[in-house]
Structure 1
Amino acid sequence: MTQRSGQAGDGTGGPVPTTPVCYRHPDRETYVRCSRCDRPICPECMREASVGHQCPECVSEGRRSVRPARTAFGGGAAGRHGYVTKTLIALNVLVMLLSIASDRGGDAAAGGSGFGGLMGGGTPLTDWGAVLGQAILPDGTIGGIAEGQWYRLVTAMFLHYGVVHLLLNMWALWVLGRTLEAALGPLRFLALYLIAGLGGNVAVYLFSAPNSTAVGASTAIFGLFAAIFVIMRRLGRDTSAILPILVINLVFTFTVPGISIAGHLGGLVTGALMALVLAYAPRMRRTVFQVAGGAIILVALLGLALVRTGMLPGG
């Protein structure tokens, strides 16, 4: 018997094939490869793809190259989570707690004049942040916005006269807000809410009786009522269920004492205008048109407030 020394082989004289190992885990053998870059990947590294499996790096690269999903009106798909709606509700609840705390045992939560006293009364915080009708005080002097307190146009939409007042508005915001935020996206929905609320508060300043004060998210809520009607019509959906609710709210506005007619109608009209801008912006330059339209409405509202201030004695 003759023995020869040399390298072991596969019987054909070549080297023995080695088993592939995962490129991220060299101690793991695998015969699966990334369908995109062809690198070996173990079960821990596999990511389901439309065809085969991909490695984590290829999945991340693919996500960066894909355009984010947009709504029919150009908004981000994140609106389906309702983050803005939830944040607005939380902010209103927080401000209500601060308002009650500022009253030091008064009638902030209940005991006011509306709904048999259940609406709650004023507090130092509502006095600070409410919109004063025509900026005229009981003694005939001017105050509020006319004295440069422009913050009231914003703060008033986050303050409420009592817990019942808050709950009614937050229920409406929860129902309307999630639908509109999903359709418009977070930023466009937030712009709609704030501009509608601002429009209602400007209307309070312009048209409410002197020395009357108004607070509440209902200025923005009425804007959402108008907006959901416009948005649903633009999408070709049935709006028959929306009209009765809107009519009922308008009946309450005109019949229940203590409700700001100017604030509700101002929010309704402003919300409708903003919704028209968002819904009917031309597709090719949609964002530019929407931003410009919102800016025009905002400037017009502030201009009306400035004109009103200039008409006051000493303005």
Structure 2
Amino acid sequence: MFTRTESFNEFIRFYPAVTLIILFNLLIFLMTSLPILPGDTIFERLAGVNLYIMEGEVWRLATPIFVHSGFPHLLFNSFSLVLFGPALERMLGKAKFTAIYLLTGISANVATLFLEPMTYIHVGSSGAIFGLFGFYLAMILFRRGMLSKENSQTVMTIAAIGVIMTFVQPNINITAHIFGLIAGLLIGRLFLTKL
């Protein structure tokens, strides 16, 4: 389920939502060094800045999901998405998968807005990726038959490691990770009761 054996072309064909998200992340990353205005960059226009959000730049609740602070940041989040996104996209379909990814990422950024200082700046798709983990956890807790025991153990282990690493690594948006996970769990609970 979490092992990728597809060719590059098969991956694109089977998982169009995951592919487009990764492509969009990569394009935004490549564009972050292009100046828009003197002294202004795409990174600065799209990053989550709590003060600017409160001043009306509400797009910054969504755009940080696609902006990364460096190539290792982009690579790690893309790798996580390649591992854990395809199975969920296959189960839910591309539209529902994309909606869950965006809703959990935005929820993580809303929590960041209200719980972090006004000067706080944040970027990255980790909140949305933790949202996927939360959705998987909802499957484990409320719809046990959707995942095998082995896959459930894998999800639980990776989620636990992810939460631990959230508190160990420097420069991590702890609020986004935790509230992305919670949002995924709650959305999963609501969604899975309707199946």
What's the TM-score once normalised by structure 1's chain length?
A: 0.53
Is 1:243 equivalent to 2:146 in the alignment? no
Question: Is contact 1:92-1:159 (8 Å) kept?
Answer: yes
Report which stretch shifted further, 86-95 or 250-259: 250-259
8 A Cα contact 2:34 2:42, kept in partner: no
Summarize the Cα distance change of 1:236–1:174 in structure 2 as closer, same or farther, 3 Å threshold.
closer
Which of 61, 81, 90 is the equivalent residue of 2:14?
Answer: 81
Larger radius of gyration: 1
Q: Is the 8 A contact 2:33 2:43 kept in 1?
A: no
1:252 aligned onto 2:165: yes
Question: Cα–Cα, structure 1 residues 102 and 165, in superposed 2: closer, same or farther, change >3 Å?
Answer: farther
Runs of 4+ in structure 1 off by over 4 angstroms are none
Q: Distance in 2 between matches of 1:100 and 1:243?
A: 38
Q: Tell me the amino acid that sits aligned with residue 217 of structure 1.
A: S
Identify the residue that residue 296 of structure 1 maps to in structure 2: none
SS at match of 1:257: coil
**2:7 alignment partner in structure 1:** none
Are the structure 2 counterparts of residues 124 and 101 from structure 1 closer, same or farther at C-alpha, using a change threshold of 3 Å?
closer
Kindly state the Cα deviation for residue 266 of structure 1 after the two structures are TM-superposed.
1.5
Partner of 1:127: 44
Residue type of the alignment partner of 2:186: L
8 Å CA contact 1:202–1:266 kept in 2: the answer is no
1:252 Cα deviation from its structure 2 partner: 1.4
Contact 1:85-1:174 at 8 Å conserved across structures: yes
| Residues 132 and 210 in structure 1, CA contact (< 8 A), matched pair in contact too | yes
Contact kept? 2:138, 2:186, Cα under 8 Å = no
Partner in structure 2 of residue 204 of structure 1: 112
Residue 89 of structure 2 is matched in structure 1 by 181
**Which residue in 1 is equivalent to 2:8?**
none
Gaps of 5+ in 2: 1-12
Q: Which has the higher contact order (CA 8 A, sep 6+)?
A: 2
Number of aligned pairs? 176
Give, in whole Å, the separation in 1 of the partners of 2:65 and 2:35.
18
Match in the other structure for 1:167: 75
Q: Which amino acid aligns with 1:164?
A: P
Structure 1 residue 102: deviation in Å? Answer: 4.0
1:127 alignment partner AA: E
CA apart distance, 1:132 = 2.1
1:101 deviates by 3.4
Cα RMSD (Å) of the superposition?
2.0
**Counterpart-to-counterpart distance in 2, 1:263 and 1:209:** 14
Residues 219 and 268 in structure 1, CA contact (< 8 A), matched pair in contact too:
yes
The change in CA–CA distance for 1:179 and 1:236 in structure 2 (over 3 A counts) is: closer
1:100 is displaced (CA, Å) by 3.0
Question: Residues of 1 paired with 2:139 and 2:90: CA distance?
Answer: 11
Structure 1, unaligned runs of 5 or more? 1-79, 104-122, 136-143, 284-315
Identity within the alignment, %: 31
**In 2, Cα distance between equivalents of 1:170 and 1:276:** 26
Per the normalisation by structure 2, the TM-score is 0.84
How far apart, CA to CA, are the structure 2 residues paired with 1:101 and 1:217? 21
1:262 equivalent to 2:175? Answer: yes
